[in-house]
Amino acid sequence: MRLFRYLVTRVLLTIPMLFVMLSLIFVVLRIMPGDPVSAMLGGHAPQSVIDEQKHKLGLDRPIGAQYVDYLVHLAHLDLGTSMVFDERVTSPIADKLPATIELTLAGMAVTLLVGVPLGAYAAQKRRSRWDYGIRVYANVVYCIPVFWMGLLLQLLFGVLLGWFPISGRTSPRVDISEFARTGFYTLDSLISGDPAAFGDVMWHLVLPAVTLGIVLSGIFVRLTRANMLDVLKSDYILAARARGVPERRVVYRHGLRNALIPVVTMLGLEFSLLLAGAILTESTFSWPGIGRLLLERIYLRDYPVIQGVIVIYTLLVSVVSLIVDILYAVIDPRVKY
């Protein structure tokens, strides 16, 4: 019952957070130089045509009236219509969102598979050359811009070695219409029973996921190492060693689980960074996700689509934070709601 009340409270707290985010983006978009009508018609359209189009889109109304109208539509789960392409906002978002989620989850997997084991190993080999080397790696990758890492991997593994493709989600030889159902190509290719398509999708996913995951793995290396050092000083660890339990089992079975508690918490916080990094990664690798969609529509001043993408980003971060809180209670039985 306590967990249910906690879940309801967290869901209700998402509403004011979403309200603040939308209010900020709504105001910022409308005080920025330029407007969607000029971007749509070009710089040589007559002023009368521009004024007519603004009236048609409602952009000549007071900002307060536009804001109230947008909130009313949002309350009815209506994100509006694109000002540039005359399509429902939900259409491009639904088309691009699976690609972003797929990339973000793959990047998160790389982050955990690299960051957590390296952090635990560095704690086990404290003050050895392995420890110093892993700590240098964590500091270096954390300082590398995502787009620079992506360009470096493209040049090395895509252009020079030719091991991986440098853009897109599939090869031209793969017919997407044969297996695309949910938009998650890895899942769809498995459901359709097409191993060749699955291999091609994974082949295209490697470089973007590694780019996103490696850059953020440095945070988890340092966090895991710091927590492992504290855990390895605990009384139950000393008792396990005194009983002759193998060191590897002490570190990775008894120590690592307790050290993962703050790591899981950080994972929820880092999800927003993964989404932000996905925007740059999608641009670098021509990945057709909502991050790339957001950049394109910012250039076109397509207010409804930009606001719709922000709504989706906010909801994703809220949902992941809620899941992480629940996992926190599962990992640590002392946590009560």
Q: ∠ CA 162-214-252 to the nearest 5 degrees? A: 120
Segment 108-159, tens digit of pLDDT = 888 888 888 888 888 878 888 888 888 888 888 888 888 888 888 888 888 8
Q: Which CATH superfamily is domain 96-331 in?
A: MetI-like (1.10.3720.10)
Contact 304, 36 (CB under 8 A): no
Short-list 63, 54, 82, 57, CA closest to 23:
63
Tokens of 66: 């536009």
Contact 229, 237 (CB under 8 A): no
pLDDT at res. 212: 85
Amino acid at 34: G
Residue 337, pLDDT > 60, answer: no
Segment 259-284, tens digit of pLDDT = 777 777 777 777 777 777 777 788 88
Tokens of 200: 């091609």
In whole angstroms, what is the distance from residue 104 CA to residue 273 CA?
A: 10
Residue that has been written with the tokens 């988890």 in this structure? 220
In whole angstroms, what is the distance from residue 261 CA to residue 274 CA?
A: 20
Domain ranges of the chain: 2-75, 96-331
What pairs with residue 88 in β-bridges? 81
Tokens of 195: 């191993």
pLDDT at res. 84: 76
